Structure 1
Amino acid sequence: MTEDNDSTDGVRFTRRSLLAGLGTIGVAGAGAGLGTTALFSDGESFADNQLSAGALNLRVTVDNIAHSTTTVRDNTEISPKDTADGEAVTITVSDLKPGDWLVLEWNPEVIANPGYVRVTSVDEDFANTEGRTPDSETDTDAPGDLGDALLSTVWASYDDLSGGISRGDLEWLDPTTDKAETDLPAWERPDLDGVTDSGAHYTTMNEAHEVYRSGVLLRDESGEPLAVGTNSDAAWFYQLLELPIRVGNDVQGDEVSFTLRFDAEQTRNNATPFDGA
């Protein structure tokens, strides 16, 4: 259900109403021999009938729940009030240094009715901006280099991990941000290219955008569309942003900006959510 309302009006004849009509005809025929005509009549009504369409309300909260240093925590700003409910949320992380990391917790909630949720990285809002650097040998050609260096990896969980976690607590690596699609149970330290010892390949910001620009449907561990909301499992998604320690000077002063859009559709009578996305 995507905020569309639909209603159908109809008339139904019941067995009771048809028999009542026949009874009236029989009484009128019997009375005709007495020279009188008596038409029995009765009327009943059901007043104030209403048909109402159900509601579906998507709300998304995001919070910075873990970070490599207090400086990264203090340099991360989320507004307004960590909640997207009909308005945009802006996340600003400034002054990232090689080796810095933070974990964002995304919690989509579908209120009133369960729904399927799709996440899209808005194409026109994704940008790499080249920054100023004091090093004359550094690459200063546009676009910026941070999108090719900053790792953006997604884990999913049915457990709320916001009570203080580290990277080692992350599990259920989402295949959308694992280029090798390796069954990795938990976080491993990646090299400069985002590759781990087990062969997993964490995506960069640019690579993640290429996957999410056409929309990604949230799925459960078995790969089925995930029903989020009333009488269904809650879902928390953890996005690890990490700048590898040996990234070099090319990213100095560079910026990456992006917008994530969350959309919901009803689960009931919906065999192909978002037309099979």
Structure 2
Amino acid sequence: MKGEGHELTRRRVLAGLATVGAAGAAAGLGTSAYLNDTESFTDNTVEAGALNLRVTVDNIEHANEIVRDNTTITPKDTADGNEVTITVDDMKPGDWLILEWNPEVVANPGYVQVTSDDDDYVNEEGENPEPETDTSSPGDLGDALLSTVWSSYESLGGGDPRQYLEGLDETTDNNDSDLGSYETPDEDGETSSGAHYTTMNEAHDVYKSGVLLRDPSTGDPLEVGTQGDAAWFYQLLELPPSVGNEIQGDSLTFTMRFDAEQVRHNDAPFANS
């Protein structure tokens, strides 16, 4: 009779070792430990960007002190707002003045749009002396006073300061003549090179729907505030010497509003305004 001992084959030995290993792992679940660590970053802040528009304006040149004293600018610095109101009063044929406008965008670059406020555009008929035949409102100054915008001005001293105006903006030229520098107009606003300066009424009709400031060299929307850059443009108001009595006593008030939108992620500035 054969013995009752168990026969150990190689396969049975391996299976038995696996069983022992599994049992050992199960037994160690309650006693093993893992290395661990925790790091934290505190006081994290996400802050929205800022866009701050400031505008300054000044009457930098004028035909005489009377013109200077009878031109009211309110306010000259728009740190607390974005509208500037200009009143031109007691202008005589041959009078003129140059306004320097300086919009600046702080913190982030922005596009700037300029609008002539339709509700605040006032062309008043003044006292009517006997030689004046047209005494009905509105006044005649808006149809006689020429208003043009120029891209640059740098006085070199001597002569008529208007000669240093360069780059007539097409928004204030009825003929889109691309006039490079100032030329004296006739009573109707036309010059020898074919430019046709707009009157105040015509300029207001263009700007009341908003005009985007553009780079005069490329025509692209101007990025104001990039690397601290500001923008300048120059508005010339002039009353041709040949204008008659119809403008006597009339006054003109207009308000320019400035708005800014960020440059970043803005492919169509003021498209929805």
User: Taking structure 1 as reference, are residues 251 and 39 closer, same or farther at Cα in structure 2, changes over 3 Å only?
Assistant: same
Partner of 1:204: 199
State the Cα distance separating 1:42 from its structure 2 match. Answer: 3.1
Which residues of 2 match residues 233-252 of structure 1 at below 5 A? Answer: 233-252=229-248
How far, CA to CA, are the matches of 2:42 and 2:54 in structure 1? 37
Partner of 1:65: 60
User: Taking structure 1 as reference, are residues 150 and 30 closer, same or farther at Cα in structure 2, changes over 3 Å only?
Assistant: farther
Partner of 1:43: 38
- Kindly provide the amino acid, as one letter, of the partner of residue 72 in structure 1: V
- Kindly provide the amino acid, as one letter, of the partner of residue 198 in structure 2: T
- Kindly provide the amino acid, as one letter, of the partner of residue 110 in structure 2: G
- Kindly provide the amino acid, as one letter, of the partner of residue 189 in structure 1: T
Residues 202-256 of structure 1: per-residue CA shift (max 9 Å, x gap): 0001000110011000001221100111316432110000011111011111122
Residues 169-218 of structure 1: per-residue CA shift (max 9 Å, x gap): 00011000011000211110101111111110000010001100110000
Partner of 2:18: none
How far, CA to CA, are the matches of 2:125 and 2:29 in structure 1? 104
User: Taking structure 1 as reference, are residues 39 and 204 closer, same or farther at Cα in structure 2, changes over 3 Å only?
Assistant: same
- Given that 1:31 and 1:37 are in contact with CA atoms closer than 8 Å, whether structure 2 keeps it comes out as no
- Given that 2:116 and 2:210 are in contact with CA atoms closer than 8 Å, whether structure 1 keeps it comes out as yes
State the Cα distance separating 1:136 from its structure 2 match. Answer: 5.1
Consecutive unaligned residues in structure 2, runs of 5 or more = 1-23
Structure 1 SS opposite 2:171:
helix
Partner of 1:256: 252
Deviates more, 1:169-178 or 1:223-232: 223-232
- Given that 1:60 and 1:84 are in contact with CA atoms closer than 8 Å, whether structure 2 keeps it comes out as yes
Partner of 2:269: 273
| CA RMSD, Structure 1 to Structure 2 (Å) | 2.2
Deviates more, 1:262-271 or 1:38-47: 38-47
- After TM superposition, which residue ranges in structure 1, 4 or more long, deviate above 4 angstroms? 29-32, 162-165
Structure 1 SS opposite 2:236:
strand
Residues 35-55 of structure 1: per-residue CA shift (max 9 Å, x gap): 525355433211111011111
Partner of 1:176: 171
Q: Structure 1 residue 148 and structure 2 residue 143: aligned?
A: yes
Partner of 2:79: 85
Q: Structure 1 residue 226 and structure 2 residue 219: aligned?
A: no
How far, CA to CA, are the matches of 1:162 and 1:122 in structure 2? 31
Deviates more, 1:256-265 or 1:126-135: 126-135
State the Cα distance separating 1:70 from its structure 2 match. Answer: 2.1
Q: Could you tell me the TM-score, scaled by structure 1's length?
A: 0.82
How far, CA to CA, are the matches of 2:179 and 2:69 in structure 1? 31
Pairs aligned (count):
246
State the Cα distance separating 1:89 from its structure 2 match. Answer: 3.2
State the Cα distance separating 1:72 from its structure 2 match. Answer: 1.4
Partner of 1:134: 129
User: Taking structure 1 as reference, are residues 32 and 261 closer, same or farther at Cα in structure 2, changes over 3 Å only?
Assistant: farther
User: Taking structure 1 as reference, are residues 181 and 233 closer, same or farther at Cα in structure 2, changes over 3 Å only?
Assistant: farther
State the Cα distance separating 1:127 from its structure 2 match. Answer: 2.1
Consecutive unaligned residues in structure 1, runs of 5 or more = 1-28
- Given that 2:87 and 2:254 are in contact with CA atoms closer than 8 Å, whether structure 1 keeps it comes out as no
Partner of 1:114: 109
User: Taking structure 1 as reference, are residues 113 and 35 closer, same or farther at Cα in structure 2, changes over 3 Å only?
Assistant: closer
How far, CA to CA, are the matches of 1:31 and 1:105 in structure 2? 86
How far, CA to CA, are the matches of 1:92 and 1:128 in structure 2? 10
Structure 2 SS opposite 1:231:
helix
- Given that 2:147 and 2:203 are in contact with CA atoms closer than 8 Å, whether structure 1 keeps it comes out as yes
- Kindly provide the amino acid, as one letter, of the partner of residue 203 in structure 2: A
Partner of 2:154: 161
Structure 2 SS opposite 1:73:
helix
Structure 2 SS opposite 1:138:
coil
Deviates more, 1:177-186 or 1:126-135: 126-135
Residues 69-112 of structure 1: per-residue CA shift (max 9 Å, x gap): 122122223233x2012334333332110000000000100011
